Amino acid sequence: MRQAAASLLALEQIVRKVWGENAATLHLCRRSARLGLSCIALQAAASVSARSLSFFTRRQQVAHTRCLDRKQNHNMGKERFTINPFPALELSDAEKNQLLELGRTIIEANFERDDAFFKTGRKVDHRRWKLAKERERMFVHTERPEYTGADAMSNTLHSSSKLPAILSVGRVEGKLDDMMYGVVNPTLEEMRIKASYVHDFDGAAVLSTIVEPTVDEPFNSVVVKWLEMDLPLRRTGIVQNRDYVYLECTGFVRMANGDRAGYHFLHSIDFPQIPKLSDRVRGDMSICGFFRQVGPNVIDVCKTGLMDPAGDMIRMLAVPVMTEAFLSPLCYVHCGQMRKLTWKMEKAHSEARLHSAPNPGPTCVSCGKPSTGWTLGKSATTCKCCFRVLCSGCKIKKKISLVTADLTL
Protein backbone atom coordinates (compact mmCIF):
# COMPACT_ATOMS: atom_id res chain seq x y z
CA MET A 1 0.00 0.00 0.00
CA ARG A 2 2.80 2.42 0.89
CA GLN A 3 4.55 1.69 -2.40
CA ALA A 4 1.31 2.27 -4.36
CA ALA A 5 0.71 5.56 -2.52
CA ALA A 6 4.26 6.71 -3.23
CA SER A 7 3.91 5.79 -6.91
CA LEU A 8 0.61 7.68 -7.15
CA LEU A 9 2.13 10.76 -5.46
CA ALA A 10 5.10 10.71 -7.85
CA LEU A 11 2.77 10.32 -10.81
CA GLU A 12 0.58 13.23 -9.69
CA GLN A 13 3.66 15.44 -9.44
CA ILE A 14 4.58 14.59 -13.01
CA VAL A 15 1.03 15.18 -14.23
CA ARG A 16 1.00 18.60 -12.53
CA LYS A 17 4.31 19.47 -14.15
CA VAL A 18 3.26 18.35 -17.62
CA TRP A 19 -0.44 19.21 -17.79
CA GLY A 20 -0.74 21.74 -14.94
CA GLU A 21 -3.29 21.86 -12.15
CA ASN A 22 -5.96 20.21 -14.25
CA ALA A 23 -8.55 18.70 -11.91
CA ALA A 24 -9.94 16.33 -14.53
CA THR A 25 -6.51 14.98 -15.42
CA LEU A 26 -5.49 14.53 -11.78
CA HIS A 27 -8.81 12.76 -11.11
CA LEU A 28 -8.11 10.46 -14.07
CA CYS A 29 -4.64 9.82 -12.67
CA ARG A 30 -6.04 8.69 -9.31
CA ARG A 31 -8.77 6.56 -10.91
CA SER A 32 -6.20 4.96 -13.21
CA ALA A 33 -4.01 4.09 -10.24
CA ARG A 34 -6.95 2.40 -8.52
CA LEU A 35 -7.56 0.41 -11.69
CA GLY A 36 -3.96 -0.76 -11.53
CA LEU A 37 -2.50 1.13 -14.48
CA SER A 38 1.27 1.11 -14.75
CA CYS A 39 2.72 4.24 -13.15
CA ILE A 40 5.95 3.84 -15.11
CA ALA A 41 4.06 3.75 -18.40
CA LEU A 42 1.86 6.71 -17.41
CA GLN A 43 4.98 8.69 -16.58
CA ALA A 44 6.42 7.68 -19.92
CA ALA A 45 3.30 8.92 -21.71
CA ALA A 46 3.46 12.21 -19.82
CA SER A 47 7.09 12.56 -20.80
CA VAL A 48 6.30 11.95 -24.47
CA SER A 49 3.49 14.50 -24.33
CA ALA A 50 5.64 17.12 -22.58
CA ARG A 51 8.62 17.17 -24.90
CA SER A 52 8.71 19.32 -28.02
CA LEU A 53 10.16 17.07 -30.69
CA SER A 54 10.86 17.93 -34.30
CA PHE A 55 12.17 15.77 -37.05
CA PHE A 56 13.45 15.77 -40.62
CA THR A 57 12.49 13.89 -43.76
CA ARG A 58 14.11 12.89 -47.01
CA ARG A 59 12.87 11.78 -50.39
CA GLN A 60 11.61 8.19 -50.55
CA GLN A 61 11.30 5.29 -52.94
CA VAL A 62 9.12 2.65 -51.30
CA ALA A 63 10.06 -0.98 -51.89
CA HIS A 64 7.81 -3.57 -50.30
CA THR A 65 10.63 -6.08 -50.66
CA ARG A 66 11.96 -4.50 -47.46
CA CYS A 67 9.01 -6.04 -45.63
CA LEU A 68 9.93 -9.40 -47.10
CA ASP A 69 13.56 -8.91 -46.08
CA ARG A 70 12.43 -8.39 -42.49
CA LYS A 71 10.58 -11.69 -42.64
CA GLN A 72 13.85 -13.53 -43.25
CA ASN A 73 15.04 -12.35 -39.84
CA HIS A 74 11.68 -12.90 -38.17
CA ASN A 75 10.64 -16.52 -38.60
CA MET A 76 7.15 -16.99 -37.21
CA GLY A 77 6.42 -20.32 -35.56
CA LYS A 78 3.07 -22.00 -36.15
CA GLU A 79 2.26 -21.97 -32.44
CA ARG A 80 2.39 -18.19 -32.12
CA PHE A 81 -0.81 -16.28 -31.42
CA THR A 82 -2.79 -19.48 -31.02
CA ILE A 83 -2.66 -19.95 -27.24
CA ASN A 84 -3.58 -17.28 -24.70
CA PRO A 85 -1.27 -17.80 -21.68
CA PHE A 86 -3.69 -16.04 -19.32
CA PRO A 87 -7.19 -16.65 -17.93
CA ALA A 88 -10.11 -14.72 -19.38
CA LEU A 89 -9.95 -11.00 -18.58
CA GLU A 90 -13.38 -9.76 -17.58
CA LEU A 91 -13.69 -5.95 -17.38
CA SER A 92 -16.64 -4.12 -15.86
CA ASP A 93 -18.30 -1.24 -17.68
CA ALA A 94 -16.67 1.17 -15.22
CA GLU A 95 -13.21 -0.24 -15.95
CA LYS A 96 -13.81 -0.05 -19.70
CA ASN A 97 -14.88 3.59 -19.38
CA GLN A 98 -11.74 4.36 -17.37
CA LEU A 99 -9.57 2.81 -20.07
CA LEU A 100 -11.40 4.73 -22.80
CA GLU A 101 -10.94 7.97 -20.87
CA LEU A 102 -7.26 7.23 -20.32
CA GLY A 103 -6.64 6.55 -24.00
CA ARG A 104 -8.60 9.60 -25.13
CA THR A 105 -6.78 11.94 -22.72
CA ILE A 106 -3.26 10.84 -23.64
CA ILE A 107 -3.96 10.68 -27.39
CA GLU A 108 -5.36 14.23 -27.37
CA ALA A 109 -2.36 15.51 -25.41
CA ASN A 110 0.09 13.83 -27.78
CA PHE A 111 -1.75 15.02 -30.87
CA GLU A 112 -1.76 18.64 -29.70
CA ARG A 113 2.01 18.60 -29.46
CA ASP A 114 2.52 16.55 -32.60
CA ASP A 115 0.36 19.00 -34.54
CA ALA A 116 2.72 21.79 -33.50
CA PHE A 117 5.72 19.71 -34.64
CA PHE A 118 4.05 19.12 -38.00
CA LYS A 119 3.25 22.80 -38.58
CA THR A 120 6.71 24.07 -37.65
CA GLY A 121 8.61 21.48 -39.70
CA ARG A 122 10.33 18.22 -38.85
CA LYS A 123 13.90 18.94 -37.74
CA VAL A 124 15.77 16.68 -35.37
CA ASP A 125 17.88 18.17 -32.59
CA HIS A 126 20.97 16.02 -33.03
CA ARG A 127 22.32 17.18 -29.69
CA ARG A 128 19.48 15.24 -28.16
CA TRP A 129 18.73 12.49 -30.66
CA LYS A 130 21.11 9.95 -32.15
CA LEU A 131 20.24 8.29 -35.46
CA ALA A 132 19.91 4.56 -34.75
CA LYS A 133 18.42 3.18 -37.98
CA GLU A 134 17.56 4.48 -41.42
CA ARG A 135 15.54 2.74 -44.10
CA GLU A 136 14.05 4.29 -47.22
CA ARG A 137 12.53 7.56 -45.92
CA MET A 138 12.11 6.44 -42.32
CA PHE A 139 14.56 7.48 -39.60
CA VAL A 140 14.64 6.06 -36.07
CA HIS A 141 16.45 7.91 -33.29
CA THR A 142 17.21 7.16 -29.65
CA GLU A 143 17.65 9.82 -27.00
CA ARG A 144 21.27 10.40 -26.02
CA PRO A 145 21.91 9.37 -22.38
CA GLU A 146 24.13 12.39 -21.84
CA TYR A 147 21.51 14.91 -22.97
CA THR A 148 20.70 17.31 -20.09
CA GLY A 149 18.41 19.88 -21.72
CA ALA A 150 15.26 21.21 -20.09
CA ASP A 151 13.17 18.64 -21.96
CA ALA A 152 15.40 15.67 -21.14
CA MET A 153 13.66 12.56 -19.90
CA SER A 154 15.61 12.59 -16.63
CA ASN A 155 13.85 15.82 -15.70
CA THR A 156 10.47 14.12 -15.89
CA LEU A 157 11.14 10.52 -14.88
CA HIS A 158 13.16 8.98 -12.12
CA SER A 159 16.72 8.97 -13.40
CA SER A 160 17.17 5.37 -12.23
CA SER A 161 14.60 4.06 -14.72
CA LYS A 162 16.72 4.90 -17.79
CA LEU A 163 13.84 4.31 -20.18
CA PRO A 164 15.09 4.36 -23.78
CA ALA A 165 13.13 7.06 -25.62
CA ILE A 166 12.67 6.34 -29.32
CA LEU A 167 11.64 8.69 -32.10
CA SER A 168 10.66 7.58 -35.60
CA VAL A 169 9.82 10.01 -38.39
CA GLY A 170 9.58 9.93 -42.15
CA ARG A 171 7.32 9.54 -45.14
CA VAL A 172 5.74 6.49 -46.68
CA GLU A 173 4.23 6.04 -50.12
CA GLY A 174 0.53 5.16 -50.17
CA LYS A 175 -2.98 6.08 -49.10
CA LEU A 176 -3.93 6.83 -45.50
CA ASP A 177 -6.87 4.38 -45.53
CA ASP A 178 -4.58 1.58 -46.73
CA MET A 179 -2.11 2.38 -43.96
CA MET A 180 -4.80 2.40 -41.27
CA TYR A 181 -6.21 -0.87 -42.60
CA GLY A 182 -2.73 -2.30 -42.14
CA VAL A 183 -2.57 -0.90 -38.59
CA VAL A 184 -5.93 -1.96 -37.13
CA ASN A 185 -5.97 -5.55 -35.84
CA PRO A 186 -8.54 -6.03 -33.05
CA THR A 187 -8.90 -9.82 -33.33
CA LEU A 188 -6.51 -12.73 -32.96
CA GLU A 189 -6.90 -13.65 -36.63
CA GLU A 190 -6.14 -10.10 -37.78
CA MET A 191 -3.16 -9.86 -35.43
CA ARG A 192 -1.71 -13.00 -36.95
CA ILE A 193 -2.25 -11.77 -40.51
CA LYS A 194 -0.73 -8.37 -39.72
CA ALA A 195 2.30 -9.96 -38.06
CA SER A 196 2.92 -12.04 -41.20
CA TYR A 197 3.40 -8.81 -43.19
CA VAL A 198 4.81 -6.38 -40.63
CA HIS A 199 6.92 -8.70 -38.42
CA ASP A 200 6.98 -6.18 -35.56
CA PHE A 201 6.75 -8.64 -32.67
CA ASP A 202 6.94 -12.34 -31.96
CA GLY A 203 3.93 -13.53 -30.00
CA ALA A 204 0.66 -11.95 -28.93
CA ALA A 205 -2.86 -12.53 -27.65
CA VAL A 206 -6.10 -10.54 -27.42
CA LEU A 207 -7.12 -10.28 -23.76
CA SER A 208 -10.22 -8.06 -23.94
CA THR A 209 -12.05 -6.10 -26.62
CA ILE A 210 -13.53 -2.75 -25.56
CA VAL A 211 -14.37 -1.10 -28.92
CA GLU A 212 -14.73 -3.04 -32.16
CA PRO A 213 -14.57 -1.57 -35.68
CA THR A 214 -17.92 -0.98 -37.38
CA VAL A 215 -19.03 -0.40 -40.96
CA ASP A 216 -19.21 3.34 -40.30
CA GLU A 217 -15.95 3.45 -38.27
CA PRO A 218 -13.83 0.61 -39.68
CA PHE A 219 -10.55 1.80 -38.15
CA ASN A 220 -11.72 2.56 -34.59
CA SER A 221 -10.71 -0.06 -32.06
CA VAL A 222 -9.74 -0.25 -28.38
CA VAL A 223 -8.32 -3.58 -27.24
CA VAL A 224 -6.30 -4.95 -24.30
CA LYS A 225 -3.50 -7.18 -25.59
CA TRP A 226 -0.39 -9.08 -24.62
CA LEU A 227 2.74 -9.30 -26.77
CA GLU A 228 6.15 -10.92 -26.53
CA MET A 229 9.39 -9.55 -27.94
CA ASP A 230 12.28 -11.89 -28.74
CA LEU A 231 15.71 -10.79 -27.57
CA PRO A 232 19.09 -11.96 -28.86
CA LEU A 233 20.72 -14.72 -26.77
CA ARG A 234 17.32 -15.85 -25.48
CA ARG A 235 18.01 -19.46 -26.43
CA THR A 236 21.26 -19.43 -24.46
CA GLY A 237 19.37 -18.90 -21.20
CA ILE A 238 21.38 -15.77 -20.43
CA VAL A 239 18.42 -13.45 -21.02
CA GLN A 240 14.65 -13.82 -21.00
CA ASN A 241 12.16 -12.46 -23.50
CA ARG A 242 10.25 -9.29 -22.60
CA ASP A 243 6.47 -9.21 -22.64
CA TYR A 244 3.95 -6.39 -22.33
CA VAL A 245 0.29 -6.10 -21.34
CA TYR A 246 -1.10 -2.98 -22.96
CA LEU A 247 -4.05 -0.97 -24.20
CA GLU A 248 -4.09 -0.50 -27.98
CA CYS A 249 -6.17 2.24 -29.64
CA THR A 250 -6.54 3.01 -33.34
CA GLY A 251 -8.66 5.57 -35.15
CA PHE A 252 -8.71 9.11 -36.53
CA VAL A 253 -8.51 12.62 -35.12
CA ARG A 254 -9.39 15.78 -37.01
CA MET A 255 -6.86 18.50 -37.77
CA ALA A 256 -7.75 22.19 -37.70
CA ASN A 257 -8.29 22.21 -41.48
CA GLY A 258 -10.70 19.28 -41.26
CA ASP A 259 -8.28 16.67 -42.63
CA ARG A 260 -7.89 13.36 -40.85
CA ALA A 261 -4.85 12.09 -39.00
CA GLY A 262 -4.67 8.42 -38.13
CA TYR A 263 -3.33 7.33 -34.77
CA HIS A 264 -1.93 4.15 -33.25
CA PHE A 265 -1.50 4.13 -29.47
CA LEU A 266 -0.04 1.43 -27.20
CA HIS A 267 0.14 1.92 -23.43
CA SER A 268 1.10 -0.54 -20.68
CA ILE A 269 -1.48 -1.53 -18.08
CA ASP A 270 -1.32 -3.80 -15.03
CA PHE A 271 -4.18 -6.14 -14.15
CA PRO A 272 -4.23 -8.50 -11.15
CA GLN A 273 -5.78 -11.14 -13.43
CA ILE A 274 -2.74 -11.01 -15.75
CA PRO A 275 0.22 -12.16 -13.63
CA LYS A 276 3.83 -12.09 -14.73
CA LEU A 277 5.03 -15.23 -16.48
CA SER A 278 7.90 -17.16 -14.94
CA ASP A 279 9.91 -17.42 -18.16
CA ARG A 280 9.48 -13.80 -19.27
CA VAL A 281 10.19 -10.36 -17.82
CA ARG A 282 7.29 -7.89 -17.81
CA GLY A 283 8.21 -4.51 -19.32
CA ASP A 284 6.43 -1.18 -19.73
CA MET A 285 5.86 0.92 -22.82
CA SER A 286 3.97 3.93 -24.08
CA ILE A 287 3.99 4.53 -27.85
CA CYS A 288 1.93 6.92 -29.95
CA GLY A 289 2.09 7.33 -33.71
CA PHE A 290 0.28 9.72 -36.06
CA PHE A 291 -0.16 9.37 -39.83
CA ARG A 292 -1.20 12.20 -42.19
CA GLN A 293 -1.87 12.28 -45.93
CA VAL A 294 0.40 15.12 -47.14
CA GLY A 295 0.30 14.37 -50.87
CA PRO A 296 -1.66 12.34 -53.43
CA ASN A 297 0.37 9.25 -52.54
CA VAL A 298 2.51 10.40 -49.60
CA ILE A 299 1.93 9.80 -45.87
CA ASP A 300 3.75 11.68 -43.11
CA VAL A 301 4.68 9.39 -40.19
CA CYS A 302 5.58 10.52 -36.68
CA LYS A 303 5.98 7.93 -33.94
CA THR A 304 7.35 8.47 -30.44
CA GLY A 305 7.61 6.15 -27.50
CA LEU A 306 9.32 4.88 -24.42
CA MET A 307 9.89 1.19 -23.80
CA ASP A 308 11.22 -0.05 -20.48
CA PRO A 309 12.84 -3.47 -20.95
CA ALA A 310 12.89 -3.90 -17.16
CA GLY A 311 16.62 -4.02 -16.53
CA ASP A 312 19.48 -1.67 -17.29
CA MET A 313 21.83 -4.45 -18.40
CA ILE A 314 19.35 -5.65 -21.01
CA ARG A 315 19.12 -2.26 -22.73
CA MET A 316 22.02 -3.04 -25.09
CA LEU A 317 20.11 -6.05 -26.41
CA ALA A 318 16.60 -4.60 -26.30
CA VAL A 319 17.09 -1.21 -27.97
CA PRO A 320 18.07 -2.61 -31.42
CA VAL A 321 14.97 -4.83 -31.37
CA MET A 322 12.80 -1.86 -30.38
CA THR A 323 14.24 0.46 -33.03
CA GLU A 324 13.59 -2.19 -35.67
CA ALA A 325 9.96 -2.34 -34.51
CA PHE A 326 9.71 1.43 -35.00
CA LEU A 327 10.36 0.89 -38.72
CA SER A 328 7.12 -1.11 -39.02
CA PRO A 329 5.18 1.81 -40.65
CA LEU A 330 7.11 0.98 -43.83
CA CYS A 331 5.01 -2.19 -44.10
CA TYR A 332 1.61 -0.86 -42.99
CA VAL A 333 0.44 0.22 -46.46
CA HIS A 334 1.53 -3.07 -48.01
CA CYS A 335 -0.27 -4.95 -45.24
CA GLY A 336 -3.47 -2.96 -45.84
CA GLN A 337 -3.33 -3.54 -49.58
CA MET A 338 -2.79 -7.28 -49.18
CA ARG A 339 -5.68 -7.51 -46.73
CA LYS A 340 -7.92 -5.72 -49.25
CA LEU A 341 -6.73 -8.06 -51.99
CA THR A 342 -7.47 -11.06 -49.77
CA TRP A 343 -10.98 -9.76 -49.06
CA LYS A 344 -11.64 -9.26 -52.78
CA MET A 345 -10.35 -12.72 -53.63
CA GLU A 346 -12.43 -14.40 -50.92
CA LYS A 347 -15.52 -12.49 -52.07
CA ALA A 348 -14.93 -13.53 -55.69
CA HIS A 349 -14.47 -17.18 -54.76
CA SER A 350 -17.63 -17.15 -52.62
CA GLU A 351 -19.63 -15.82 -55.57
CA ALA A 352 -17.99 -18.35 -57.88
CA ARG A 353 -19.10 -21.20 -55.63
CA LEU A 354 -22.68 -19.96 -55.91
CA HIS A 355 -22.81 -18.96 -59.57
CA SER A 356 -19.70 -20.66 -61.06
CA ALA A 357 -16.63 -18.78 -62.25
CA PRO A 358 -16.95 -16.55 -65.33
CA ASN A 359 -15.45 -17.49 -68.68
CA PRO A 360 -11.76 -16.45 -68.66
CA GLY A 361 -12.06 -15.07 -72.19
CA PRO A 362 -9.74 -15.32 -75.22
CA THR A 363 -7.61 -12.23 -74.50
CA CYS A 364 -5.56 -10.80 -71.66
CA VAL A 365 -7.84 -8.77 -69.39
CA SER A 366 -5.12 -6.14 -68.96
CA CYS A 367 -3.55 -5.52 -72.38
CA GLY A 368 -6.05 -7.26 -74.68
CA LYS A 369 -3.44 -9.49 -76.28
CA PRO A 370 -5.09 -12.63 -77.73
CA SER A 371 -4.18 -15.87 -76.02
CA THR A 372 -3.47 -17.61 -79.32
CA GLY A 373 -0.58 -15.26 -80.05
CA TRP A 374 1.51 -16.00 -76.98
CA THR A 375 4.95 -17.39 -77.63
CA LEU A 376 6.29 -20.75 -76.54
CA GLY A 377 7.40 -20.83 -72.92
CA LYS A 378 5.27 -17.85 -71.89
CA SER A 379 2.06 -19.39 -70.65
CA ALA A 380 -1.10 -17.62 -69.63
CA THR A 381 -2.73 -17.76 -66.24
CA THR A 382 -5.98 -16.58 -64.69
CA CYS A 383 -6.43 -13.86 -62.09
CA LYS A 384 -7.52 -15.25 -58.72
CA CYS A 385 -9.89 -12.31 -58.21
CA CYS A 386 -11.68 -11.89 -61.55
CA PHE A 387 -10.86 -15.31 -63.11
CA ARG A 388 -9.90 -13.64 -66.41
CA VAL A 389 -6.86 -14.55 -68.50
CA LEU A 390 -3.56 -12.71 -67.93
CA CYS A 391 -0.51 -12.87 -70.14
CA SER A 392 2.96 -13.32 -68.65
CA GLY A 393 3.82 -9.68 -69.33
CA CYS A 394 0.88 -8.34 -67.31
CA LYS A 395 0.94 -10.93 -64.55
CA ILE A 396 2.09 -9.72 -61.12
CA LYS A 397 2.48 -12.23 -58.32
CA LYS A 398 1.46 -11.25 -54.79
CA LYS A 399 1.87 -13.49 -51.76
CA ILE A 400 -1.02 -13.16 -49.33
CA SER A 401 -1.57 -14.58 -45.85
CA LEU A 402 -4.61 -16.66 -44.98
CA VAL A 403 -5.56 -18.02 -41.57
CA THR A 404 -7.17 -21.44 -41.23
CA ALA A 405 -9.88 -22.42 -38.76
CA ASP A 406 -7.24 -23.47 -36.20
CA LEU A 407 -5.53 -20.04 -36.53
CA THR A 408 -2.47 -21.24 -38.42
CA LEU A 409 -1.14 -19.42 -41.47
More reliable by pLDDT, 294 or 28: 294
In a domain, 169, yes or no: yes
288 shares a domain with 386: no
The full DSSP string for 265-282 is: EEEEB--TTSPPPTTEEE
| Residue 137 lies in domain | 10-338
Q: Which of 236-245, 337-346, 385-394 has the lowest mean pLDDT?
A: 236-245
Where does 94-137 show beta strands of DSSP type E?
129-135
**Would the pLDDT of 240 be above 70?**
yes
Q: What are phi and psi of 387, to 5 degrees?
A: 65, 20
To the question of pTM greater than 0.95 for the whole model, the response is no
Q: Tell me which H or E stretch contains 111.
A: helix 93-120
395 pLDDT more than 50 = yes
pLDDT surpassing 80 at residue 310: no
Would residue 2 count as lying in a domain? Answer: no
Same domain, yes or no: 225 and 323: yes
Whether residue 400 has pLDDT greater than 80: yes
pLDDT of residue 404: 75
Judgement on whether residues 333 and 365 belong to the same structural domain of the protein: no
Rounded mean pLDDT, 267-272? 93
Q: How far apart are CA 172 and CA 202, in angstroms?
A: 24
Residue 344 inside a domain? The answer is no
371-381: pLDDT as tens digits? 665 555 555 68
Q: Final residue of a domain: which of 284, 309, 338?
A: 338
Residue 87 has a pLDDT of 84
Higher-pLDDT residue of 17 and 201 is 201
Same domain, 134 and 167: yes
Pairing relation of β-strands 280-282 and 241-254? parallel
CATH label of the domain that carries residue 68: 3.30.530.20
Q: Note whether 167 and 134 are same-domain residues.
A: yes
Residue 185 near residue 201 (C-beta atoms within 8 A): no
pLDDT band, very low/low/confident/very high, at 242 (cuts 50, 70, 90): confident
Q: Domain check: are 56 and 133 in the same one?
A: yes
Are residues 147 and 42 part of one domain? yes
**Mean pLDDT, the chain, integer:** 77
Of 143-157, 201-215, 395-409, highest mean pLDDT: 201-215
157 contacts 43 by C-beta, under 8 angstroms? yes
DSSP 216: S
Better pLDDT: 267 or 281: 267
Q: Is 289 left (phi over 0), alpha (psi -120 to 50) or beta?
A: beta
- Residue 141 is predicted with a pLDDT of 93
pLDDT digits (tens, 9 = 90+) for 161-178: 556 689 999 999 999 999
Whole-number pLDDT of residue 162: 59
> Is 348 among the domain residues?
no
The per-residue pLDDT for 339 is 95
In a domain, 345, yes or no: no
Does one domain contain both 231 and 299? Answer: yes
pLDDT in tens, 341-393: 999 998 988 888 888 878 888 888 888 888 665 555 555 688 888 888 888 88
Residue 134 exposure: Cα atoms within 13 Å on the Cβ side = 8
- Residue 343 in any domain: the answer is no
Q: Is there a single domain that holds both residue 151 and residue 275?
A: yes
Domain contains 51: yes
pLDDT tens for 105-137 read: 999 999 998 998 888 888 888 888 999 999 999
pLDDT band (50, 70, 90) for residue 195: confident
371 and 315 within one domain: no
For residues 260 and 184, state if they share a domain.
yes
What is the pLDDT averaged over residues 206-231?
A: 92
The larger pLDDT score, comparing residue 139 to residue 69, is at: 139
Q: How far apart are the first and last CA of the chain?
A: 46
User: Total structural domains in the chain?
Assistant: 2
Confidence of residue 9 (pLDDT cuts 50, 70, 90): low
Average pLDDT for residues 174-195, to the nearest whole number?
Answer: 93
Spell out the residues 6+ positions from residue 282 whose beta carbon is closer than 8 angstroms to its own. 242, 243, 244, 245, 276, 310
In sign, the C-alpha dihedral spanning 150, 153, 156, 162 is negative
Rounded to an integer, the average pLDDT of 21-47 is 44
Clarify whether residues 400 and 327 are in a common domain: no
